[in-house]
Amino acid sequence: MEKRTLGKSGLEVSALGLGCMSMSFGYGPAGDKQEMIALIRSAVEQGVTFFDTAEIYGPFTNEELVGEALAPFREQVVIATKFGFDCDSGKPGGLNSQPEHIKQVVEASLKRLKTDRIDLLYQHRVDPNVPIEDVAGAVKELIQQGKVKHFGLSEAGAQTIRRAHAVQKVTALQSEYSLWWREPEAEVLPTLEELGIGFVPFSPLGKGFLTGKITEETKFDSTDFRNQVPRFSEENRKANQVLVDLIGQFAQQKKITPAQVALAWLLAQKQWIVPIPGTTKLDRLHENIGAASVQLAPEDLRELESAASKITVQGARYPENLQKRVGR
């Protein structure tokens, strides 16, 4: 698979990474551990070198899964994980980016990941109670100690990115970005380009919606996060089908799948964008990886852009309590 470099950092990864969250958390019951290990190892065999996890996924079980799966390939892969939630107090929804806490989290993550360094360490959400300069300073110390290689932010706003970058160079920002969530284009992408920071879109398939496999009739498991997301209400799914239909028509013309159109569109936006679609299914993994070899011509992109820009997606992408934590 083609490789890409995240910004000016020199961190080289496969053009598509693998988001591992859904194997343990978020979209219904956790997958079978041995099947998920086999899936991660299959991704390595197909050229994926970039794997994304976080301590909160589980909590903790996803890091353990990723650590075990990648142990035989550790020198060939880049592992990204995240700190920033208070997973130890029994209230895992609370934020905690106190410098001492960050250092404790890293020690625990290193053990779970069966490694001596974290290649890319993100702050999972900006903590309003801790100046971002203090967060960046704590990660800088961890980098000096060799426990962390690169610093990242997730869902941070442009001003926070600038302030953090002034203390410790930010290698990558991870935020949601796709054909149905394009807010980063306004302020965030220009800021990243200016500073030489890479961009790692999560939910590049709109939490599954852009694959065309979710309709207004779809019923989610009771533990599935999408039950709380306004954009996934039955009414909004029905309204948003128009975007999926557009992508589906485009996919038919190109003889590829809707998911491949959505991923190829992201890859075509900038050379320093590396999407991390997640899956628990081998056939979906193959399909997503296939998107890395899809070349959309400039006229294809213009056509898709023009049609998509006329569609207003209905519904917020997060429930209100979570929306308050993004773009700070």
Give the pLDDT confidence score for residue 33 in this predicted structure: 97
- pLDDT over threshold 70, residue 90: no
- Cβ–Cβ < 8 Å for 326, 181: no
Across 19-32, average pLDDT: 96
CA distance 259 to 281: 14
Residue 263: enclosing H or E segment and its boundaries? helix 258-269
- Cβ–Cβ < 8 Å for 260, 292: no
pLDDT band at 93 (very low <50, low <70, confident <90, very high): confident
**Amino acid at the residue 31:** G
CA dihedral of residues 233, 237, 243, 246 (deg, nearest 10):
170
- pLDDT over threshold 70, residue 255: yes
Comparing 35 with 93, which gets the higher pLDDT? 35
E strands present in 219-312: none
CA distance 284 to 88: 34
- Name the burial class of residue 312, with classes exposed (0-12), middle (13-18) and buried (19+) by CB atoms within 10 angstroms of its CB: exposed
Which pLDDT tens digit goes with each residue over 54-70?
A: 999 999 999 999 999 99
Assigned CATH for 3-205+270-294: 3.20.20.100
Which pLDDT tens digit goes with each residue over 190-213?
A: 999 999 999 999 999 999 999 999
CA distance 172 to 265: 20
Q: Is 24 helix (H, G, I), strand (E, B) or coil?
A: coil
Percent of the chain with pLDDT over 70: 99
Give the pLDDT confidence score for residue 88 in this predicted structure: 82
The length of the chain in residues reads 328
**pTM score, two decimals?**
0.97
- For the chain, the domains span 3-205+270-294
pLDDT band at 91 (very low <50, low <70, confident <90, very high): low
Q: Which residues contact 16 (CB under 8 A, 6 or more apart)?
A: 1, 48, 50, 263, 267, 274, 275, 276, 277, 288, 289, 291, 292
Q: Which residues contact 98 (CB under 8 A, 6 or more apart)?
A: 130
User: Token pair for residue 6?
Assistant: 């995240």
- pLDDT over threshold 70, residue 318: yes
**Nearest one of 170, 137, 175 to 154, comparing CA atoms:** 175
Give the pLDDT confidence score for residue 121 in this predicted structure: 99
Inter-axis angle of helices 258-269 and 234-254, nearest 10: 80
**Amino acid at the residue 270:** K
Residue 255: CB atoms within 10 A of its CB come to 7
The DSSP annotation for 39-106 comes to HHHHHHHTT--EEE--TTTTTTHHHHHHHHHHGGGGGG-EEEEEE-B--SSS-TTSB---HHHHHHHH
**Amino acid at the residue 274:** V
Give the pLDDT confidence score for residue 110 in this predicted structure: 98
- pLDDT over threshold 70, residue 92: no
Which pLDDT tens digit goes with each residue over 102-144?
A: 999 999 999 999 999 999 999 999 999 999 999 999 999 999 9
Catalytic (active-site) positions: 57
- pLDDT over threshold 80, residue 89: no
Give the pLDDT confidence score for residue 209 in this predicted structure: 97
Percent of the chain with pLDDT over 90: 97
**Nearest one of 232, 274, 265 to 13, comparing CA atoms:** 274
